[in-house]
Structure 1
């Protein structure tokens, strides 16, 4: 398989993955690689997150993910492509589909929005508690909407466009590897006494892997949604430049500030975690009060961003292929 065939294979696999995810999503009872990643991480965590060498043990966890979630999937795909070009594409497409969550993220947001729309705060609080880590039992409509919008905005990159980026660059094995490190970070990448050392390499590698995808996602988010916003691209980019660096994460602020600027709302502020107050930097200007409508609007922002990302990679792949032919 030459370089041009490889580009075409990746683009077809990505296209197939997006269609599969849009139709099927992530059925709860189906086997899923992220659950396998989680079991392995928990297994290592219970046995090696102790003693004097916690940081090195955390490095072992990361290296084990490289083997299980990149080297082995890559070897499998190489073997399948040797057997049949089309079998390789189909399996790679299925692999990529398991790493993205467009449908499930939208459904999770709607599970919050629909009861909130009916005034059922208790059910809305329960549903938002399924997707955020903050305390939800006292949240009003505005705070429930904010929590949901922030989650969708952040996970547009983490859960969809970042895996697609690595699928475009490194194929299905790259998407698998990204999701495995992202799962490591979500499980052990905390700055607390238990995980500060053990989760150090997981958190750092996740930050490095997300550096380009988070910024690229914010850019595509703006160009794919600015026609549906009352604000200019120049205004939105100025808000991103101003507010994204304020976020405690070096990457998460880009998606959140982009959504805030596009919708004319303010994200961030006061959150509580197990009764402990945490004041997060504010993103965007409060031109409109947050309400349930902003959840629906954010899901639409997410969907437009995902399909524009696909188009971006399609055009990029074609241009790379043409350049390779002429070289």
Structure 2
């Protein structure tokens, strides 16, 4: 028994990660009850107060201060709560469960694939509108396929891969803080004209947090046949995308499956010109299922590799 207790204590972080993944997949937290909704609402209220008319420098400064006002108190509260809980392991378990959103995207993909397969544009637009900042009311079947592919690729990289990456480095607090940063950068996305340049600070912070995990995951997505060609094409094309992190992800999947991704998007009635990435095949329901399969396969590999690293590193820490 003492040997088992020692093993559990030594590798507690690893068991927490696996426990959080199992609980999250079996008993997902309803989206309507997630704390992220309250965080979204507070961010919107704060933006209404401070994201007012002014010069570029003034709005940039107000966005930076607002980002710090949101994140610093949240971090202090999370750190202060840890010594007060009965079991710190359960505290980190809860935070990691709240940070993950793998089941949410898996649940979304099923009705989305069905809507695209039957060309039910109204249903597909409504499903995408819940997750995207861009306008979806006028998207064609081609636009819906591209937007759906982009959502699945970027969503899984952020809400699963990057969350696990930051959990491995900084525990449950790090994973949950990263999730808050992602949500904040989405609410104040500078892609939306009314949030530019107010949302630049949150967006840049989010990009900094994703720089390493998104590139590692992109390399994992490229692995296999034609790796050298996909690597070269991804490095070249990703430079044309507004976010290099997202560009790496979209290019790696687009060239891996020869899919055409990217292209213009509409935010608040204004057309944003974005480069076309990947191959030439327009994503359909069949291709989205291939994307989902590729993402899940590579995610399983990521989990196994991270688990091995945590198992090896635990006795040394």
Is the 8 Å Cα contact of residues 221 and 304 (structure 1) preserved in structure 2?
no
Is the 8 Å Cα contact of residues 190 and 196 (structure 2) preserved in structure 1?
yes
1:253 equivalenced with 2:247 (yes/no): yes
Q: Secondary structure at the match of 1:280?
A: coil
Runs (5+) with no aligned partner, structure 2: 1-6
1:272 deviation in Å? 3.4
1:308 equivalenced with 2:313 (yes/no): no
Is the 8 Å Cα contact of residues 254 and 277 (structure 2) preserved in structure 1?
yes
1:155 equivalenced with 2:155 (yes/no): yes
Deviation sequence 1:53-108 (CA, Å, 0-9, x none): 5444333322233333322212323443xx4xxx3222312211111111111222
Q: Secondary structure at the match of 2:284?
A: coil
Q: 1:179 to 1:242 in 2, by over 3 A?
A: same
Q: Secondary structure at the match of 1:272?
A: strand
Is the 8 Å Cα contact of residues 193 and 268 (structure 2) preserved in structure 1?
no
Deviation sequence 1:188-218 (CA, Å, 0-9, x none): 2315664334323212211211111211221
Deviation sequence 1:117-155 (CA, Å, 0-9, x none): 234333233333333344434434333211100111111
TM-score between the two structures when normalised by the length of structure 1: 0.84
Aligned residues: 308
Give the distance between the partners of 2:9 and 2:309, measured in 1 at CA: 14
Give the distance between the partners of 1:36 and 1:213, measured in 2 at CA: 27
Q: Secondary structure at the match of 1:132?
A: coil
1:46 deviation in Å? 2.5
Deviation sequence 1:261-313 (CA, Å, 0-9, x none): 22111211233345433332122121x34211111111222222322221121
Is the 8 Å Cα contact of residues 65 and 180 (structure 1) preserved in structure 2?
no
Q: 2:18 is matched with which residue? A: 15
Q: 1:149 to 1:41 in 2, by over 3 A?
A: same
Give the distance between the partners of 2:106 and 2:252, measured in 1 at CA: 18
Output the aligned Cα RMSD: 2.6
Is the 8 Å Cα contact of residues 149 and 283 (structure 2) preserved in structure 1?
no
Q: 1:70 to 1:284 in 2, by over 3 A?
A: same
1:6 deviation in Å? 7.9
Q: 1:42 is matched with which residue? A: 44
> Which stretch shifts more, 103-112 or 136-145?
136-145
1:171 deviation in Å? 0.8
Pick from 265, 269, 290: which aligns with 1:297? 290
1:110 deviation in Å? 1.9
Is the 8 Å Cα contact of residues 115 and 124 (structure 2) preserved in structure 1?
yes
Q: 2:209 is matched with which residue? A: 209
Give the distance between the partners of 1:36 and 1:7, measured in 2 at CA: 36
Is the 8 Å Cα contact of residues 156 and 302 (structure 1) preserved in structure 2?
yes
Give the distance between the partners of 2:197 and 2:278, measured in 1 at CA: 34
Q: 1:64 is matched with which residue? A: 69
Q: 2:234 is matched with which residue? A: 240
